[in-house]
Amino acid sequence: MTPGARLSAAIEVLADIAERRRPVADALKDWGLAHRFAGSGDRATIATLVYDALRRRASAAWIMGEDSSRAVLIGSLRLQRGLAAQTIAELFTGERFAPAPLTEAERTRLETGTLADAPVHVAGDVPEWIVPSLASAFGDDLLPELRALARRAPLDIRVNTLKASRDATREALAHLNPEPTPLAPDGLRVPLGEDGRGPALHVEPEFLDGWFEIQDEGSQLAARLSGAKPGMTVVDLCAGGGGKTLALAALMGNEGRLVATDGDPRRLAPIHERLRRAGARAEVRTPRGGPGRRDAGRPDVMADLDGSADLVLVDAPCTGAGTWRRNPDAKWRLRPGSLATRVAEQEAVLDRAARLARPGGRIVYVTCSLLPQENDAAVAGLAARRDDLALRPLDLPASVAERVRRTAHGIQMSPERTGTDGFYVALIERGPDRS
C-alpha cells in the first residue's frame, strides 16, 4: 500500500471506532479481515496512525476546527508527528487510494491552528468530565502530566531472575539495543522504531525460553514494592493473566507459597503457560462458573486461606487511566458509570483481601489508575470499615522515592514524573490478633 492509501485506511478505521464506539483492536482486526491484500507492514503502520490519532483526538480536532475522522488524523500528523502542512499536503493527493487533497480551510488550520487558548481537557486530550479528578491528583502539574499521557509508551521487559540475569539477557538481546530501565532493577527498555512500534519480542528465543516478560517498568516496581520474600505465604488476588504473579515468584525465588486467583476465571487462561515458560511456581485457583456468579452461591476457592496470608497483593480492577498511552481509545469510551462500577469492585476485593491477611500481615493495593477515587479513597475506605487495619508508608529505594509523587496514603507513578504508566501503590497492615 502507498503511504496515502494507508492514511485512507486509518481514516476508515477511525470512522468505524467513532460510529460504533468499539475498541480500537476490534476495529483494526475487522479492517484487516476485510482487506486481506494488506501486508503486515501495512497493518502495523495503519494501527500506529490510528493510535496516534486517538492519543491526540481532542487537540487535533481543536486545531482543525472539526472532529471528523479525517480532521483528527490530519491534526494528529501535525501534533503527534510534527509534520509540516506542505508534507501533509503531499500525502493527501487523491491519487492511488490516497485521501482527497487538502482544502484551503484545512491547509489554513494546519498552518495557523494553535492550542494556546484551548481548555485543559482539549490541550491534555482527556474527557472533560474527568479533569477535576485528575486535577486533584496532579495540581499545578496537571497539563504536563496529561501531555505525557498522550505520548507513546516505551517498551519495557522484566528479566526473569529465576532463569537469567539482567546482564545476560541484555547481552542476548544486544541486536535490539536494550538499555537498563531507570528505576526497576530487573528491567530493560527496548527502543521503538520510527513508527513507534517495537520489535516482535515474543518470537525471540530468550522469550520462548522464559528469560523475560513484557511488562511496563511501573508494573515491575509495583510488584517489587509489595515486599514479597522467600518463605512467605502470598496471595495474588486479582492475578489476571499472571504478569505480577510471575514477578512475585521471582522475588520469592520459588520459595514459600504463592497462590493466584481472579474473580473472572476467563482472565486466568494465559497464566498456566506463562508459569511453565518462566519456571515459576504458583498454585492457581480458578473460581467455578462465570464472573457474574460471585453473588449466586459460587464456592469461595480461597476460603481455606482466610487469616493465613503474609501478603495479599490486590492488583485491582480499575479504569486503566494510567495506561492511556497504550490504550488511548479507552479514555474516550470511559463514562462516569464505569468509574462507579470499578469503585464498587475495588471495595469488594479489598474487603476480601482483608479476610485473607493474617494478624500482622500486609495488603498491598495496586491500580493502573491516576484517579484518587480508585486510589487513596479506596484504601481509606477499607481502613474506615475495619478497625484492625492501618495504612502504612511504603519503604522506597532512594532512586524511586525522589521520583514518585507521594499521596495521602500511597505513592503515584506517572508518565511525566517517573516515565512509567500511571501506577498507584499503597500498603495496609493488619494489626495483631487481640483475642
Confidence of residue 435 (pLDDT cuts 50, 70, 90): low
Of residues 293 and 132, which shows the higher confidence score? 132
* Sequence ranges of the binding site: 262, 315
Residue 292 reports pLDDT greater than 60:
no
Average pLDDT of the segment spanning 145-158: 96
Instruction: Collapse the DSSP code of 72 into the 3-class scheme (helix H, G, I; strand E, B; otherwise coil) and give the result.
Output: helix
Percent of the chain residues past pLDDT 90, beyond the cut = 93
What DSSP element (H or E) covers 340?
helix 336-356
Classify residue 127: in a domain, yes or no: no
Looking at 118, 135, 165, the residue that finishes a domain is 118
Cβ neighbours of residue 422 closer than 8 Å, sequence gap 6 or more:
149, 218, 321, 322, 323, 324, 368, 369, 370, 412, 413, 414, 415
Element (H, E) at 157: strand 155-159
Residue 128 inside a domain? The answer is no
- We report the CATH number of the domain holding residue 288 as 3.40.50.150
Q: What is the model's pLDDT at position 142?
A: 97
Per the domain annotation, does 126 fall within a domain?
A: no
Q: Does 21 map to a domain? A: yes
Task: Give the pLDDT score at 433.
Answer: 73
Question: Is 238 annotated as catalytic?
Answer: no
Tell me, yes or no, whether 422 and 284 share the same domain. yes
Give binding residues for S-adenosyl-L-methionine as ranges: 262, 315
Residues 196 and 82 in one domain: no
Write down the pLDDT at residue 113: 94
Which tens digits make up the pLDDT trace of 308-365? Answer: 999 999 999 999 999 999 999 999 999 999 999 999 999 999 999 999 999 999 999 9
Beta bridge partners of 424: 367, 412
Say if residue 10 is in the same domain as residue 58: yes
d(CA 155, CA 216): 7
Q: What distance in Å separates the CA atoms of residue 194 and residue 212, rounded to the nearest whole number?
A: 24
Q: Do residue 181 and residue 260 come from a single domain?
A: no
With respect to residue 379, please indicate whether it lies within any of the assigned structural domains. Answer: yes
Evaluate the CA torsion angle 34, 40, 43, 47 in order and state its sign: positive
Q: Which of 122, 368, 404, 413 is catalytic?
A: 368
What number of H helices and E strands is found in the chain?
Answer: 20, 13
| Cell numbers at 177, concatenated | 539495543
Name the more confident of 291 and 146: 146
Final residue of a structural domain among 118, 139, 163: 118
Q: What is the pLDDT of residue 187?
A: 98
Considering the domain architecture, whether residues 177 and 313 belong to the same structural domain is answered as no
> 192 in helix, strand or coil?
coil
List, in order, residues 6 or more apart from 273 with CB less than 8 Å away.
none
* Residue range 10-23: mean pLDDT, rounded: 94
pLDDT of residue 294 exceeding 70, the answer is no
Count: domains in the chain:
3
> Which residue blocks in 81-204 are alpha helix, DSSP H?
85-91, 104-112, 120-123, 131-138, 142-149, 166-172
**Residue 161 sits in which domain range?**
155-208
pLDDT tens per residue, range 387-399:
999 999 999 999 9
Strand bridging mode 233-236 / 389-392? unpaired
Q: Per-residue pLDDT for 297 more than 80? A: no
pLDDT of residue 193: 87
Burial class (CB in 10 A: 0-12, 13-18, 19+), 5: middle
Pair 238, 331 in one domain:
yes
Residues 196 and 90 in one domain: no
Q: Is residue 315 part of a domain?
A: yes
